Structure 1
Amino acid sequence: MTNAEVALLGIRHHGPGSARAVAAALAQWQPDAVLIEGPAEAEAVVHLAAEKDLVPPVALLAHAVDDPAKAAFWPYAEFSPEWVAIRHAVDHDLPVRFIDLPAGYGFAPFTDGDADGDGPGELPADPLALLAEAAGHDDPERWWEDVVEHRAPAADALAPFAAVAEAMGALRAEGLGESRRDQLREAHMRQQIRAARRAGHRRIAVVCGAFHVPGLATMPTVAHDRALLAALPKKVRVDITWIPWTHRRLSQATGYGAGVQSPGWYHHLFTTEGDPVPRWLTRAAELLRAADHPVSSAHVIEAVRLAETLAALRGRPLAGLTETLDAVRAVLCEGSDVALELVRERLVVGDALGEVPDAAPAVPLQRDLARLQRSLRLKPAAAPRELDLDLRKDTDAARSRLLHRLRLLGVEWGVPTSSSVNSTGTFRESWRLCWQPEFAVRIAEAAQWGTTVEEAAVNKAVGTARAAVELAELTGLVETCLLAGLSGALPAVMRVLADCAALDTDVAHLAGALPALVRALRYGDVRGTDHEALAGAAAGLAERVCVGLPPACVGLDAESAAAMRARIDEVHGAIALLDPETATGTAPGTAPSTATGADSATDADGLADRWAAALRSLARREPTGGPATGAPGLLRGRAVRLLLDDGRLDSEEAGRRLRLVLSVANAPADAAGWVEGFLTGGGALLLHDPRLLALLDEWLGGVSDEVFTDVLPLLRRTFAGLEAGVRTTIGGRVAAGPLGAAPAAPEAARELDRDRADSVVPVLALLLSVRPKIPRQAVGRNT
């Protein structure tokens, strides 16, 4: 649409058809200035579009200077009409202006119903969806492809924009989709158009969302627009820059509120000359072959034919994404939705990650991170990848420290994998890396802690320690500081930890804090950290846990008992690491202990001995006067099992305790809990000691029907946790007959009871619908 000096080019954000139309219109119109819908502050960085290192997809990032968490993105892909307009302007050395409301207004609170949307540029409704509905289409994406993306170039490049303006004018005449924020934005855009005219420009191209064209086509008075803009709140001071973006992020409803469902497909449409379908199906075939799917050239030819046939049957001018994906599923994937999902992820959406030049404005923390990424050869990538580190190598150790420091700062670029988390080794780590565009905002937020990654991580650790309220938070923070190599933060964190540990009397808190502290001690050998202070703190926590554990377990309900059982297991493993020489009851330089049924602690002074004494005390705390007077059976049984596994009780003593628990004097529910705690961690014990299995079978067979119903869920949960092979073997032994009896004779050696066998023949015949062949003598017996 033209108005002597102004061409209003209404576009769909991130539409390749609109992008091609804008390129053609600008080439025909040859403007002397280009105005683009976008935050006004972007004029400060638009010149960077001329840099070859600014490679889309990219996004403008604006954030409040005083509160970086308040941020907004304006993403652009290669097929975005705005990006085409920017490139045209910089290539032809034309002035380019961003004419939307400054981002600083978007971060300020609007009042009196000024904003129907939540962020800059959001529309309350999708006008294209309204037009598609009016045209009788239920899919706006498909309708847009038919009328725009598949449209042949017009002789007059401005004619399509006139048609779009007419359609949007009809919508606006009905009052559909217009909001108070739109009125404010359009008033500001009109002011910028007037400013361009006053600057002496005579051929002005305005690239904006098609919805705004009617609002810019008719110019009200200057006083009218000034009155509207007077209602704006006070503008917030912002910083703006370019950041890398990804196709995957474009597929989400960000920026303009119009998420692109298929950015990879749109990129292919925009960058491919001629028929895009054969080339795209060829790429899909290459992808599937790389994933070991048998796809040949003949498959591609048939897929192209099928896509074209489907388009003809459905009345579409060309095969679109729907027809192409149907052909991929039917021909290339042979009906497999799993293989089709791979094509969707890699080609329809894609993992393209843009690039930004070093000249782009950035906080010092971002620049330090970029320097570290280059020196450590850790290039950000949108596609997830695995990274294995050997901490004995300097480069890998530095990479590990960087990833841990970033996690502390809230930048989850790398996440430790399960092999790294559960490994008992100290010199290997496994990570899963995946860079997300929003990390730029988190880095801007973290800039308040320092100008380098190390400085920011140290200050963040100290600040987190001072704000911590639970002991486990502090011990976990100590572990993180060691992993991240933050020796500058450790003294302050340890002081807070010592103060908190001295005041905390909750054994559950102490038990939850100890494992992380003990794990941290293990990093000293490889990482070269001084762990003397850690060892003292860990030993002090362990001593307090040993003393306070038995009384802390008295009177716990089922939920609290389950949580305490997990704590006990963690502390047991931690003490084994903290005092390895006495973990099995053996003091340095002495013979192994042969304790059997004695409940008294050994004379050894090792920490493991004191822990064993605490477990023995816990195992004896039976509820003599009701559940509130003793420890739950779950914890008592677990204590006995840990002592048995460590060789501090023999199987005979364990059997005696099981026999006492399963006696009629004890409540069945408490006995079932004891069994659960005793068998947790492996049921092979019942196979190695048939006496324990016999005791359990005898008790279970003797409980009443009512009691059996109550304890059944608990027992099912217990045995469900056993290995499948163990469950099968136990079931076989129980089914074989009385436990402890001589093995049953083989089937071939047993004498066949013919009377019993004949008695079931009529029933089997009825089930199988056959006439039974019953011996004459059997008929008389069964009639």
Structure 2
Amino acid sequence: MRGAGAAPDGPLLLGVRHHGPGSARAVLAALDAHEPKVLLVEGPPEADAVVELAAHEALRPPVALLAHAVDDPARAAFWPLAGFSPEWVAIRWALERGVPVRFFDLPAAHSLAWDADGTDGEGGPGPDGESPEDEAARLDPLRVLAETAGHDDPERWWEDVVEHRGGRRGDGGDDGDGENTTADPYAPFAALADAMAALREAHGDGPRRDAVREAHMRLRLREARGEFGDEGVAVVCGAWHVPALTARTTVTADRRLLKGLPRTKTEITWVPWTNERLARRSGYGAGIVSPGWYGHLFSVPDRPVERWMTKVARLLREEDHPVSSAHVIEAVRLADTLAVLRGRPLPGLGETLDAVRAVMCEGSDVPLALVHDRLVVGEALGEVPEEAPAVPLQRDLARLQRSLRMKPEARERDLDLDLREENAAARSRLLHRLRLLGIDWGEPVAGRGGATGTFRETWRLRWRPELSVRIAEAGVWGTTVAAAATARAEALARDADSLAEVTAVAERCLLAGLGDALPVVMRVLADRAALDTDVGRLARALPALVRSVRYGDVRGTDATALREVAEGLAERVCVGLPPACAGLDADGAAEMRGHVDAAHRAVALLGREELLARWRAVLRSLAARDRTPGLVRGRCARLLLDDGALADDEAARLMGPALSPGTPPADAAAWIEGFLAGGGMLLVHDERLLSLVDGWLTGLAGEAFTNVLPLLRRTFSAYEPGVRRTVGELVRRGPTGRAGAGAAGWESAPGFGAGLDRERADAVLPVLRLLLGEGAVDFGAGGRADRDGERAGRSGERTGKTAEEKAVTA
């Protein structure tokens, strides 16, 4: 049975710390003792219309009240509530008993209009409807009280004086089940109110917005007192505001503070919240350091440290860390010992984490970081019932999430999609459509093993509470995800500043499966392409367009119109590229080289032989023109050589004039950079080209060599270490004059002999038989098939079968 002290005169003012489990327990005790007839809670009065949903069994905290301006949904504010928040437990207490609940803070219509440039917590109104300037000016009462008491850690001080209240060793106040049998339920709130009054007297009443909010609170409080009487009213609000609610003011003075406030039309609803967003590190002004830990303290009936250590052990075992029951026992003992040594009434979060690190994590912070993220902060994501008010777009998204089995989660996870499967393709389309709308629930990432196939996608999913604001904001584009994404894509295409932006929109339309948007986007694309004469812009736009054609093929989308535009752009690039390459400076040449690379890949992907032949003719023309910058000429020659459209002797012939003594060293170095960029294996295998490069370098004067050295270092630094080492070894050995050692008589490095070593080649035959099966290896006309080789092959085959059997058994 809970003892009760004398009830306060007038309304029951319960000043709390937002999201404090100790405050929540104290609020429940005070409400049980007082039994008020109406409950006033700090929050926007607009929430009175949705407060009944807090009793719905499908509404599971953490959740938040979300208010946003109707004409500008990006202007929004959150009022988060956890399961251990004093406001939440008070609301649930009242609803379970049929006691009316009213919010009495400043209306969201005023707080959102106060700062017209605000956003959803990142530069605009904070979670309590405060601007960043107000939050910066606000005093941190918890820190001041802790420092006054001689503590440098506010969280630790709060745990000692509030969270562990009633559990001190030897005070006789705990009956063993977590309930305090002798304490006055009103005493904590009276003491906290006195402390806040002293703080306000010493440091002032805070920013002007506090004065305005508190004036509105007093007016609503007067209304409730007139309706239910002084003793029938209970108030749950931040402890900072309690002295203002008891201040002697007049109705006229309070209304004068509220006169002339800006106002905007708002909507309010419940939205899911996460533990991470409750944490102070997320930027939430009234946040706490350890929501997961506080939730544990509030929910467990007894033995909180033992139960916590059991949770930690279970988590570490699930992550394959060797943790036994003995570890749990020793960790609990160590936490108790640390609490005694540090003079604390009970082990707090600091003691438990120190014990976990020492006993369960063997001194390592790596598994401890896992404990912090999963348990100290927690990964809880709240749930909201379908009955909660929502924009039509939100309802359509919820329907799609259910049908595609894509439940939002606060924890980050990867989703691999094979687009050849119907459900996976539908998931991909949904995620791409949401990204078009600015709702970044998923982010594309590189697939496992570096897979880049066009029929596979990997997404990193993570649901964040602020996405609810993005959904409300995107509701202006349509009532369904498909319709809204279509309208958004059409608007992006019409408002694009460049041809490349339009092609990017076209690509995103194909990825998102927005066939209805393609006609508008293609019309804009064709108009822009017809009027644009800049080869650079055309070349930049071509790759995205070609990727769109490929993705259209994979996803079963009709990309015929896109292919026609892409081929038309490629034709125009072929025509305009030669004159565009004339007279370029170093920066212009570097930019043009990038355009050439992009256009080359795009033309190859289109797969049209006539277009590819024409493109190669353009590259050949550029590679042989003196007016073309050396960087571009060298790059064109390399692209032709890699495609097999340029013979080795022809490449050497092009390199000869480019590196001749009559060519300025800077131009020759630029040619080398363009030709050798992208890999150095060419120099390893083509000794003639290596000889030309080496001869040119050794013939440079000292000053010229110093001038071209930065370009050469930039080129060779991009090579793999093994390639650089092999090239260096070839250059170190130099020409030998040995017949057959290459055109310049270069001796090859180990592994690159002049002829075929048949004995070494035959050594791999047993392995090939094992991998490919009997009879799969064809010796060929020149292969060795003598009896020794056959015996060695059979011996290797027997050994290989044994190894294969072992592998299968394993």
Common topology (TM > 0.5):
yes
- CA change 1:185–1:684 in 2 (3 A) is same
Alignment correspondent of 2:455: 427
Measure the CA separation in 2 of the matches of 1:677 and 1:277.
66
Tell whether 2:300 aligns with 1:272: yes
2:634 to 615, 637, 640: 637
1:641 to partner: Cα distance: 0.6
Alignment correspondent of 1:681: 678
Tell whether 2:276 aligns with 1:209: no
3-state DSSP class of the match of 2:42?
strand
Alignment correspondent of 2:309: 281
Measure the CA separation in 1 of the matches of 2:21 and 2:101.
21
- CA change 1:240–1:715 in 2 (3 A) is same
Measure the CA separation in 2 of the matches of 1:670 and 1:286.
67
AA at the equivalent of 2:246: A
AA at the equivalent of 1:466: R
Cα deviation, 1:610-663, whole Å, max 9, x if unaligned, reads 1112212322343xxxxxxx4433222111110001111111121222232222
Alignment correspondent of 2:720: 723
Cα deviation, 1:259-295, whole Å, max 9, x if unaligned, reads 2221111111111222322222222222222222232
1:421 to partner: Cα distance: 13
3-state DSSP class of the match of 1:280?
helix
Tell whether 2:466 aligns with 1:475: no
Alignment of 1:146-185 (within 5 A): 146-152=160-166, 153=180, 155-176=183-204, 178-185=206-213
AA at the equivalent of 1:148: V
3-state DSSP class of the match of 1:637?
helix
Tell whether 2:240 aligns with 1:243: no
Q: Name whichever of 372-381 and 710-719 sits farther off.
A: 710-719
Cα deviation, 1:166-222, whole Å, max 9, x if unaligned, reads 111111011346111111111100111111112224421111101111101224111
3-state DSSP class of the match of 1:328?
helix
2:153 to 115, 139, 160: 139
Alignment correspondent of 1:620: 624
AA at the equivalent of 1:102: P
Measure the CA separation in 1 of the matches of 2:162 and 2:367.
30
Measure the CA separation in 2 of the matches of 1:261 and 1:506.
55
- CA change 1:28–1:570 in 2 (3 A) is same
Alignment of 1:228-627 (within 5 A): 228-230=257-259, 232-252=260-280, 257-419=285-447, 425-580=453-608, 582=609, 606-622=610-626
1:350 to partner: Cα distance: 1.6
Measure the CA separation in 2 of the matches of 1:743 and 1:191.
93
Alignment correspondent of 2:142: 128
1:45 to partner: Cα distance: 0.5
Measure the CA separation in 2 of the matches of 1:676 and 1:141.
60
4+ residue runs over 6 A deviation = 253-256, 743-746
1:156 to partner: Cα distance: 0.6
TM superposition score normalised by structure 1:
0.87
Contact 2:196 2:240 in 1 (8 A): yes
Identity %: 64
AA at the equivalent of 1:229: L
Alignment correspondent of 2:254: 225
AA at the equivalent of 2:577: L
- CA change 1:680–1:288 in 2 (3 A) is farther
Contact 1:307 1:327 in 2 (8 A): yes
Measure the CA separation in 2 of the matches of 1:743 and 1:502.
54
Tell whether 2:649 aligns with 1:652: yes
Measure the CA separation in 2 of the matches of 1:385 and 1:254.
19
Measure the CA separation in 1 of the matches of 2:723 and 2:750.
23
Contact 2:733 2:747 in 1 (8 A): no
1:74 to 74, 79, 94: 79
1:560 to partner: Cα distance: 4.1
Measure the CA separation in 2 of the matches of 1:745 and 1:97.
85
AA at the equivalent of 1:384: E
Q: Name whichever of 300-309 and 25-34 sits farther off.
A: 300-309
Measure the CA separation in 1 of the matches of 2:726 and 2:40.
78
Measure the CA separation in 2 of the matches of 1:344 and 1:648.
59
- CA change 1:641–1:502 in 2 (3 A) is same
Alignment correspondent of 1:768: none
Cα deviation, 1:17-48, whole Å, max 9, x if unaligned, reads 11111111111121111110111111110000
Measure the CA separation in 2 of the matches of 1:736 and 1:75.
73
Measure the CA separation in 2 of the matches of 1:419 and 1:621.
42
1:472 to partner: Cα distance: 0.9
Contact 1:73 1:254 in 2 (8 A): no
Alignment correspondent of 2:779: none
RMSD (Å), alpha carbons:
2.3
Tell whether 2:44 aligns with 1:33: no
Cα deviation, 1:385-408, whole Å, max 9, x if unaligned, reads 222222232222221211111111
- CA change 1:276–1:552 in 2 (3 A) is farther
Measure the CA separation in 1 of the matches of 2:205 and 2:701.
70
1:692 to partner: Cα distance: 1.7
Contact 1:474 1:497 in 2 (8 A): yes
1:424 to partner: Cα distance: 5.5
Measure the CA separation in 1 of the matches of 2:235 and 2:243.
13
3-state DSSP class of the match of 1:10?
strand
1:418 to partner: Cα distance: 1.7
1:65 to partner: Cα distance: 0.5
Alignment correspondent of 1:669: 666
Contact 1:387 1:430 in 2 (8 A): yes
AA at the equivalent of 2:157: W
1:255 to partner: Cα distance: 8.8
3-state DSSP class of the match of 1:21?
helix
Contact 1:58 1:77 in 2 (8 A): yes
Cα deviation, 1:700-739, whole Å, max 9, x if unaligned, reads 3343443333333322222222123212222232333447
Contact 2:193 2:242 in 1 (8 A): yes
- CA change 1:175–1:125 in 2 (3 A) is closer
3-state DSSP class of the match of 1:174?
helix
3-state DSSP class of the match of 1:357?
coil
1:145 to partner: Cα distance: 1.5
3-state DSSP class of the match of 1:67?
coil
Contact 1:61 1:72 in 2 (8 A): yes
1:85 to 90, 111, 117: 90
AA at the equivalent of 1:139: D
Contact 1:110 1:233 in 2 (8 A): no
Q: Name whichever of 483-492 and 304-313 sits farther off.
A: 304-313
1:518 to partner: Cα distance: 0.9
- CA change 1:720–1:91 in 2 (3 A) is same
Measure the CA separation in 2 of the matches of 1:314 and 1:555.
77
Contact 1:104 1:238 in 2 (8 A): yes
AA at the equivalent of 2:48: E
Q: Name whichever of 522-531 and 199-208 sits farther off.
A: 522-531
Measure the CA separation in 2 of the matches of 1:227 and 1:237.
22
Alignment of 1:743-762 (within 5 A): none
The number of residue pairs the alignment matches comes to 710
Measure the CA separation in 2 of the matches of 1:312 and 1:555.
81
Measure the CA separation in 1 of the matches of 2:143 and 2:526.
62
- CA change 1:257–1:742 in 2 (3 A) is closer
Measure the CA separation in 1 of the matches of 2:750 and 2:458.
54
3-state DSSP class of the match of 2:414?
strand
Measure the CA separation in 2 of the matches of 1:420 and 1:444.
34
Cα deviation, 1:73-107, whole Å, max 9, x if unaligned, reads 11111111111111111111110010000011112
Contact 1:74 1:255 in 2 (8 A): no
Alignment of 1:696-775 (within 5 A): 696-738=693-735, 740-742=745-747
Measure the CA separation in 1 of the matches of 2:239 and 2:458.
49
